[in-house]
Structure 1
Amino acid sequence: MGKKRKNNDASESSRSMDGNTVQLEGISTVGNVADNDTNMLVVIPKKKAKIKTKVVEKKVKKLSKKERKRLTDIIQRKENKERRANLLEALSKNQASEEEMKRFTSITEVYTQNYKSDLAVGDTYEMKINSIKRTKRKKKPMTVKEDKEEDPESEDTDQMSTDEEVEAIMEEQASAQTKDDVTVEASSIHSLNQSLHAQIEPAKNPDSKPADLQPVKNADSKPSVYMHLNRIPEMQAARLKLPILAEEQVVMETINDNPIVIICGETGSGKTTQVPQFLYEAGYAHQSGIICVTEPRRVAAISMSKRVAAEMNLTDREISYQIRFEGNTTPETKIKFVTDGVLLKEAQQDPLLTKYSVIIIDEAHERSVYTDILIGLLSIVLRQRAKRGRPLKLIIMSATLRIEDFTSSVLFRYSKPPPIIKVEARQFPVTVHFNKKTIEDYVSEAYKKVCKIHRTLPEGGILVFVTGQQEVHTLVRKLRKMFPYIPGQANLEPTKKESRRERQRKEKLLQEEKKESLLEDVKKIDLNSFSVLPQDDEVAENDDNIDVNSDEENTKLKEEEDEEEDLKAMMKEETPDSSIPLYLLPLYSLLSSDKQAQVFEPAPEGCRMCIIATNVAETSLTIPNIRYVVDTGKTKTKFYDKVTGVSTFRVTWVSQASANQRAGRAGRMGPGHCYRLYSSAVFSDFELFTPPEITRRPVEDLVLQMKSMRIDKVANFPFPTPPVNEQIKAAESLLMSLGALHPVGNQSIRFNDLKKVKSPVITDLGMVMATFPVAPRYAKMLMLAKTYKVLPYAVALVAALSVDELFIDSIQPSDAEGDKEKWQSKVAKLSIFRSNLIGNAFLLGDMMVLLKAVGACESEGCAVSFCERLGIRFKAMREIRKLRIQLTNAVNTAFPEEDLVVDPNLPPPNEEQNLALRKIVLGGLADHVARRNPAPPPGADKTECNRLKGSFQCMQLEDLVYIHPESVMFKNKDVEFVVYQSMIETSRLYMRGLCCIEAHWFPELAPSYCVLSKPLEEPPPRYDQKTGKVFCHRSGSFGRCNWEFAPTEMEFPDSVESYRWFAKFLLDGDVFPALARFKSFLLLNASTMVKSWAKLQPKTDTVLKALISKEAKTRDRLIGMWKTEPRFFQAEYLEWIPESLHGEVITLWPPLVSKS
């Protein structure tokens, strides 16, 4: 039978007629008949009746997205409630007893103060909580049951939030009346168990959701590690005196919880030596990697590694250092001290620095260029290492409070700035004394101040700050003459004190005896010959405070007393005194390492130590036993002209931060004094901080390194203090002129438009240049040396150019024997010797002097005595040897076929090699070209004649420049064009490191600076059999000054004309001699290719299109095409010869070898 269905219409009609049951279409339909009625009338038709019924399709109402979402939420909520009920039932099986539950305290009670008067003993409490779904909500406080009967429904209504109200409305619309919240009584064990989970779980993690009921494993937790060290008791006792030892727990907890930490503490707080030890003991060097500490100076890296190794009682195999050309790292190294440049070079090979677990940037306040680059680079590395699951810790340590540059959100893209730990230094009080007057001759003033301190003040070391090597030696020599120290002389302390008392007694007698004579000398002084103008602002201010109504005699008397005191002091200073010897030591960066280390050793018995130093002693080293500091307030700074690119050294005032650093040197071991040789008014005008080095020097080496690391947009790099846009543009322009960078699209740009190029990209040549550890200019010289086959000489020359001050200056060292005349005689002999080093290679100039000096020292084994005899700094020669080895290895890595070795007996270059060396020097220093100015016209002014005499005009400056007197080319008046290594500014602008060049080399070696004409018709282009290329002559000008040069032969420029001329030589048989015998049979003369009417001949157009399509304009390119397409250019050539010769040409093709 068919499907049964209830027919309500039929039932109603049967009931209205007779109440009987009717069956239609074989479907039995039961009407409204009593169950006990068994005599139903059944009517069965004989034939199936066909009744036409209209089928009405019931339209299904489509749900809107909002309605569908509402119904889905209702279903989902019901399912959640079912799961919640099942969960509660499961939890009730593991319920606690009622007695145990009463011992728990609700979270609401913990934060609510209840008074005894409010609670009655024995009362029964109930707690009202939200459902598990809203466990993050604030819980209802406990209430007394007897005081108030709670209505569950009203309570639920009060506790509902906006989301709950929406849910309730949706449930009412769905006719599903349910309750969202659950009210539990304290007496119900089932509800109390639920209450326990509802309140304890959110307290552990307030941000958790109902679904987060599973235990979550803490990924940050790791077992603690402690590496035990067997320290020497004396070392441990010395460590405990350092201020940072008290902050070890704070430091390590901060480091463990943060990827970046900044530690700020004055020099002497122990941060450099102790923080690496903290990290080692905490296990940071156990398995995860090496602890790396960067120092801005090499002497600091070496001394700190030795000190830390001694404190930890470990060998140099575990605590090592790595500086340029030198290091003692091993596979067992755990802590490595490096210079910032070394680490930056490692980052070029390993961008993520994977072998390090912690990197410490020490002395970050000095803001060296490499330190700034490292901090910006590490801010990127930190995020990359964190993504890879190998987090890196970065610790920045600074000695000053200028830390805003290191906490910039642009630099470290974290939600909050890095934490800062300030460590109080072990600093004793330092009394600062300002001069009343600021004397211009600060060296003489420093000499007077040291003499006064040594004669009158108690024992304690003296540290004097001056600007450079010359001032150091001058001051040391004068003080040694005044207070001579003779080794072996007995100067015991009691005798010393007794002699001082005796000396003071004698001085008093001397003062009484000569008082009248001194006053007479004062009267003889003509005060009218002295200026009454104040020497600084402070004196002017003090003049305003003088009482103009005071007695004129008192004023004159005061002046006479001052003059008397000055004369007394002068008399004392000019009298040598060997009874109080002074142990004097120089200290500057170019000093040898063994002499630098002497400042850490104690002074001989009976002597006071006095150190004359440059700013190298400002922050990098902690010199012991210093009690007095004499600060001249001066420093020698290298300034860089961002427009011209010229660097000059100038003596300027230090910053206030540097002056405070210098003063702090007197308070390391005890209370001290700082004598500033300038007034307080001058000090207030100092800059607060020294500008970062990156803003004061050229940055082409940094730009090239960053480009090689695929950092194309250097301006967007996160520098702590970014260089100005002019610096970056100048660096990119120079690199483009060297061929290391090229514009996007590789289009040719004139040198005047180089700075307009935006974000040039690195070339293959630039990638190789970046591997050499020298400046980009010198790297280009090495690349050219490979072409000219003079790599051994170029490596030695580049190594010598990269090291400053190879030869000893004309400055007399403080330990030099003999008087001034003997020293000058020695300098003159050395000058003659250097001139003789040139030999026949005079045009190579100062470059040949460097090359010969390196070769001579290497042949003698680089002996100290030999270097001193030739006036060569042994320390510089040792660095040249190390750099030469390093460059040789780099060249062999870049060009394995060269197989270059360091030859200690390298013979002098021959004439052809000298010529090649001059060319490569021009290729690397093309922007350092200068041209001699013509002689002044007859009758010119004498002053103008003196100004133009020996002057040159360079590309970068409008001012006249001159050859330095120490150059071997100083007296040469015949050279027209020279190239210089550097330029210094004193009374004039002087060029140093000169080499003669030829003007016709410009188009070949410095094309970026040339403006060339079109190929000249006379002489006509020619084909060069050696290179297989077409050459032509072109004239032009060079540089900003438009120095014109004679027509020069060079490769034909890339143009349509170059293909025409190559086709001409190809048809004539000059390119392939096998085609020369067909020249007389050509249907058209080959010269037709280069005629102005060549387009009228279809044959010329066919040949031209074929060559251009394959860029075939050289012999090598054509041969390469025939290797893949042997019949290339055959059809085009056949059009130029008679048909009778076609078969012979086809047999011959390709015409590489003549078959006649």
Structure 2
Amino acid sequence: MNTDILIGVLSRVIKLREEMWVQDKDNVKPLRLVIMSATLRVSDFAENTTLFPKPPPIINVPGRSHPVTVHFSRRTSSDYVTDTIRKASKIHARLPPGGILIFLTGQNEISGVCRKLEARYGAKALAERKKRRGVLPVRANVAAEESGQKVTVAPAQADVEAEDVDLGAEEELALDVDDNTAEAIQDDEALDSDEDMNDENLGIDKEESEVPMHVVPLYALLPSEKQMKVFEPPPEGSRLVVVSTNVAETSLTIPGIRYVVDCGRAKERRYDVANGVQAFQVSWISKASAAQRAGRAGRTGPGHCYRLYSSALFESYFEQFSQPEILRMPIEGVVLQMKSMHIDAVVNFPFPTPPDRFSLKKAEDVLKHLGALTSEKSPTDLGSKITEIGRAMSLFPLSPRFSRMLVSGRQHGCLPYIIAIVSALSVGDPFLREEALAAAEDESDEESESDELAHLTSEAVRAKEARRLRRKAFFQSQETHASLGNHASDVFRMLSVVGAYEYAGGGHQFCAEHFVRPKAMEEIHKLRAQISSIVQTNFSDASAGFEANLLPPNALQLKVLRQLLTAGFIDQIAVRKDKVSKEAATGRQFTTSRGVPYRALGVDDDVYIHPSSVLAGQPPPDFVVYLEVVRTSKVWLKGVTVVNAAWLSSLGKSMCTYSKPIKTADGKLLVIPHFGPGGWELPPVSPPQ
């Protein structure tokens, strides 16, 4: 999104510089702007007269790559994970040496495919199978050669270089590895395969190979040192298999990749501007992304790309390009940044891909609630002006909600805690989830549990007991960090683990014991130092030095931190449904928050506190503030903090309406505030000045 602003500003600068050069002002010379990209949607620039009145020249520089043969599937199966395993097995058994790059949508899929391929083609699995069958190693062929017998070598075992085989030629290896070349001409656009796709009929057992696979996962949440394994050469005599998300699409080139298996899908965060609901959806990629994926097979030699979808589906349902980020994300940060640059009429700005007016209006409304923009429009009707608070907020390269918390955090010694909270929220939840424990078990240090398990002899029983101990340690760690603030906030759980990490001096041992991601904790540590530096540079009266050993906040500081979170997310408040809905007012007492419906601002559906929240096992509070609302089977609130209803009328005045004054028995005047569009009733307060 910053790139869109930069190009829009430069398009104006180019015109201004040319005018000054023509008038010979201050020896100014014209500026030449060159925009380079491998996946750019050129029409957004060349045909955008708001951006460039005269279409700029377009120079197409073809990349240096080897030919890649693209194979479409005859049918498009909905079970693409099973298809992926089958296709990788056939490539491994039938085709010459070369790395395989598999594209899938997320961590769980990648972990599952890695386990299945490792169980069938891993070095240990092959050794076990040889042992069971009593088959001599492949070296036995040497004796056959010496005796003059003919030896048959599978393609995967042959020592073939890319230059020796033209994989794009019309020979057996250039055809689809499925041997269904006659059927490939019929390209049916069917989402359901006519084959049985269950695990029992994977067809893997038919694909025999004595060459081991070196299977390596790759996704964004993987620790850096494990991500780097994709660049290491595989063990001698093994085939490299990388199972990745779209992080391998354009960001990096993995050496030795000759085969690409593309499922054609990607998991993306979809944001509904109208109600703020986010959903992680698996959807088809664009044609430009598919071309990028295929190109990974042609970096070091001729290659093949196997697409697990039909060409008819590709032509009919794949968009030409992916949707730009500025159309997929909240843009209040963009609007605030532009207002701080004195670009008041944001709607007239020459964006390469302009956001719609509703998104711009929603962003301005959010900034008004945060106090970053004035409530009144300027006399020239160019939009709201930035306030002093907004100008201070724009100094931080963060979401306006986080910068609002930082600007207001200089009270009661809370600033170091706010910096830690904002750093954690900017990076994302560092905790491993319960479902990630199974994947982490394989990488855990067995010696750490050997003392407790030494008395067990059965391997299966030892593994089961190890899982039980690990789960027990996981929940104990979660409970320890959730206890900060008396189970009142998911954000305080993150603050607790950040403070403990810094106190312990960091390290992978701490991360393993507390079930957090090392990469996330390192990023939080670096971001804390960076934000502390910005605070010291811009606020001379603030003492926000980087404090490694933070003491836990006291009761007053915890209360202030909850108020600061409420101020930053004042338009993301939810109330228990039975408090505002007559139909839901049952009068029954709830023991936990699980299954208790809430109403959230701007969301039509009932929402629920996420099961992973520290509040899930506590009695449901009346009001909560949430960081995000995510739709899966239900609509869930994530990052929840308990809110005192009395705070809302003072922190969210712009969102309140007030009743007529009421005189109490002791002669005081009070008004009843009503919060948000639904008019939720709040405790009485004195009339606002």
Following TM superposition, by how much is the alpha carbon of 1:680 offset from its aligned partner in structure 2, in angstroms? 1.9
Following TM superposition, by how much is the alpha carbon of 1:541 offset from its aligned partner in structure 2, in angstroms? 12
The answer on 1:650 being equivalent to 2:281 is yes
Quick one: which amino acid aligns to residue 971 of structure 1? G
Matches within 5 A, 1:972-991: 972-991=618-637
> Does the aligned pair in 1 maintain the 2:261–2:305 contact within 8 Å?
yes
The verdict on how the C-alpha distance between 1:900 and 1:683 changes in structure 2, with shifts beyond 3 A counting, is: same
Quick one: which amino acid aligns to residue 608 of structure 2? Y
Following TM superposition, by how much is the alpha carbon of 1:401 offset from its aligned partner in structure 2, in angstroms? 6.8
The answer on 1:635 being equivalent to 2:262 is no
Could you tell me which residue of structure 2 aligns to residue 849 of structure 1?
A: 493
Give structure 1 stretches of 5+ with no counterpart: 1-368, 506-535, 544-558, 748-756, 941-945, 1023-1031, 1055-1156
Following TM superposition, by how much is the alpha carbon of 1:574 offset from its aligned partner in structure 2, in angstroms? 9.9
> Does the aligned pair in 2 maintain the 1:626–1:666 contact within 8 Å?
yes
The verdict on how the C-alpha distance between 1:878 and 1:840 changes in structure 2, with shifts beyond 3 A counting, is: closer
The answer on 1:1053 being equivalent to 2:688 is yes
- 377-386 or 865-874, larger mean C-alpha shift: 377-386
Could you tell me which residue of structure 2 aligns to residue 598 of structure 1?
A: 229
Matches within 5 A, 1:100-249: none
Following TM superposition, by how much is the alpha carbon of 1:774 offset from its aligned partner in structure 2, in angstroms? 1.4
Q: 1:997 aligns with which of 628, 633, 643?
A: 643
Could you tell me which residue of structure 1 aligns to residue 101 of structure 2?
A: 463
* Post-superposition CA distance 1:554-584 (Å, at most 9, x none): xxxxx9xx88999786360799x7x421112
State the distance in 2 between where 1:423 and 1:442 align. Answer: 35
Could you tell me which residue of structure 1 aligns to residue 657 of structure 2?
A: 1011
Following TM superposition, by how much is the alpha carbon of 1:400 offset from its aligned partner in structure 2, in angstroms? 3.9
- 998-1007 or 468-477, larger mean C-alpha shift: 468-477
Following TM superposition, by how much is the alpha carbon of 1:1017 offset from its aligned partner in structure 2, in angstroms? 2.5
> Does the aligned pair in 2 maintain the 1:448–1:573 contact within 8 Å?
no
Q: 1:739 aligns with which of 357, 368, 371?
A: 371
Following TM superposition, by how much is the alpha carbon of 1:626 offset from its aligned partner in structure 2, in angstroms? 1.1
> Does the aligned pair in 1 maintain the 2:578–2:585 contact within 8 Å?
no
Could you tell me which residue of structure 2 aligns to residue 432 of structure 1?
A: 70
Quick one: which amino acid aligns to residue 492 of structure 2? M
Q: 1:720 aligns with which of 352, 357, 380?
A: 352
> Does the aligned pair in 2 maintain the 1:931–1:952 contact within 8 Å?
yes
Could you tell me which residue of structure 2 aligns to residue 1063 of structure 1?
A: none
Matches within 5 A, 1:291-690: 369-385=1-17, 387=20, 389-400=28-39, 402-408=41-47, 410-413=49-52, 416-485=54-123, 495=139, 538=188, 570=203, 572=205, 579-684=210-315, 685-690=317-322
The verdict on how the C-alpha distance between 1:718 and 1:845 changes in structure 2, with shifts beyond 3 A counting, is: same
Following TM superposition, by how much is the alpha carbon of 1:931 offset from its aligned partner in structure 2, in angstroms? 1.4
The verdict on how the C-alpha distance between 1:601 and 1:470 changes in structure 2, with shifts beyond 3 A counting, is: same
Following TM superposition, by how much is the alpha carbon of 1:374 offset from its aligned partner in structure 2, in angstroms? 2.1
> Does the aligned pair in 2 maintain the 1:496–1:580 contact within 8 Å?
no
Quick one: which amino acid aligns to residue 395 of structure 1? V
State the distance in 1 between where 2:269 and 2:153 align. Answer: 46
Q: 2:555 aligns with which of 905, 911, 916?
A: 911
The verdict on how the C-alpha distance between 1:542 and 1:638 changes in structure 2, with shifts beyond 3 A counting, is: closer
Following TM superposition, by how much is the alpha carbon of 1:796 offset from its aligned partner in structure 2, in angstroms? 1.0
The verdict on how the C-alpha distance between 1:647 and 1:563 changes in structure 2, with shifts beyond 3 A counting, is: closer
Quick one: which amino acid aligns to residue 992 of structure 1? K
Could you tell me which residue of structure 2 aligns to residue 1036 of structure 1?
A: 673
Following TM superposition, by how much is the alpha carbon of 1:396 offset from its aligned partner in structure 2, in angstroms? 1.4
Following TM superposition, by how much is the alpha carbon of 1:839 offset from its aligned partner in structure 2, in angstroms? 2.8
State the distance in 2 between where 1:484 and 1:408 align. Answer: 53
> Does the aligned pair in 1 maintain the 2:491–2:639 contact within 8 Å?
yes
The verdict on how the C-alpha distance between 1:850 and 1:390 changes in structure 2, with shifts beyond 3 A counting, is: farther
> Does the aligned pair in 1 maintain the 2:594–2:611 contact within 8 Å?
no
Following TM superposition, by how much is the alpha carbon of 1:411 offset from its aligned partner in structure 2, in angstroms? 5.0
State the distance in 2 between where 1:716 and 1:598 align. Answer: 48
Q: 1:706 aligns with which of 332, 338, 343?
A: 338
> Does the aligned pair in 1 maintain the 2:48–2:352 contact within 8 Å?
no
State the distance in 1 between where 2:197 and 2:532 align. Answer: 67
Following TM superposition, by how much is the alpha carbon of 1:426 offset from its aligned partner in structure 2, in angstroms? 2.2
State the distance in 1 between where 2:468 and 2:58 align. Answer: 55
Following TM superposition, by how much is the alpha carbon of 1:390 offset from its aligned partner in structure 2, in angstroms? 4.9
Could you tell me which residue of structure 1 aligns to residue 614 of structure 2?
A: 968
Could you tell me which residue of structure 2 aligns to residue 951 of structure 1?
A: 597
State the distance in 1 between where 2:566 and 2:413 align. Answer: 16
Could you tell me which residue of structure 2 aligns to residue 816 of structure 1?
A: 443
Quick one: which amino acid aligns to residue 624 of structure 1? P
Percent identical:
41
State the distance in 2 between where 1:429 and 1:1008 align. Answer: 61
Aligned residues: 609
Give structure 2 stretches of 5+ with no counterpart: 21-25, 131-136, 145-149, 156-185, 447-462, 587-591
Could you tell me which residue of structure 2 aligns to residue 1090 of structure 1?
A: none
The answer on 1:832 being equivalent to 2:476 is yes
State the distance in 2 between where 1:1039 and 1:1018 align. Answer: 26
Could you tell me which residue of structure 2 aligns to residue 795 of structure 1?
A: 419
State the distance in 2 between where 1:436 and 1:715 align. Answer: 47
Quick one: which amino acid aligns to residue 688 of structure 2? P
SS at match of 2:408: helix
Quick one: which amino acid aligns to residue 203 of structure 2? M
Quick one: which amino acid aligns to residue 670 of structure 2? H
Q: CA RMSD in A?
A: 3.6
The answer on 1:863 being equivalent to 2:501 is no
> Does the aligned pair in 1 maintain the 2:76–2:192 contact within 8 Å?
no
> Does the aligned pair in 2 maintain the 1:930–1:954 contact within 8 Å?
yes
The verdict on how the C-alpha distance between 1:564 and 1:890 changes in structure 2, with shifts beyond 3 A counting, is: closer
The verdict on how the C-alpha distance between 1:971 and 1:608 changes in structure 2, with shifts beyond 3 A counting, is: same
The verdict on how the C-alpha distance between 1:1039 and 1:766 changes in structure 2, with shifts beyond 3 A counting, is: same
State the distance in 1 between where 2:198 and 2:483 align. Answer: 60
State the distance in 2 between where 1:950 and 1:673 align. Answer: 52
State the distance in 2 between where 1:461 and 1:472 align. Answer: 17
SS at match of 2:627: strand
Following TM superposition, by how much is the alpha carbon of 1:867 offset from its aligned partner in structure 2, in angstroms? 1.2
Following TM superposition, by how much is the alpha carbon of 1:486 offset from its aligned partner in structure 2, in angstroms? 5.8
State the distance in 2 between where 1:662 and 1:919 align. Answer: 47
State the distance in 1 between where 2:152 and 2:104 align. Answer: 34
> Does the aligned pair in 1 maintain the 2:187–2:311 contact within 8 Å?
no
> Does the aligned pair in 2 maintain the 1:933–1:952 contact within 8 Å?
yes
The verdict on how the C-alpha distance between 1:882 and 1:1015 changes in structure 2, with shifts beyond 3 A counting, is: farther
SS at match of 1:648: strand
Quick one: which amino acid aligns to residue 269 of structure 2? K
> Does the aligned pair in 2 maintain the 1:743–1:759 contact within 8 Å?
no
Could you tell me which residue of structure 1 aligns to residue 167 of structure 2?
A: none
The verdict on how the C-alpha distance between 1:566 and 1:827 changes in structure 2, with shifts beyond 3 A counting, is: closer
**What is the TM-score of this pair, normalised by structure 1?**
0.49
The verdict on how the C-alpha distance between 1:717 and 1:948 changes in structure 2, with shifts beyond 3 A counting, is: same
**What is the TM-score of this pair, normalised by structure 2?**
0.81
Name the structure, 1 or 2, with higher relative contact order (CA <8 Å, separation 6+): 2
The verdict on how the C-alpha distance between 1:820 and 1:736 changes in structure 2, with shifts beyond 3 A counting, is: farther
Could you tell me which residue of structure 2 aligns to residue 30 of structure 1?
A: none
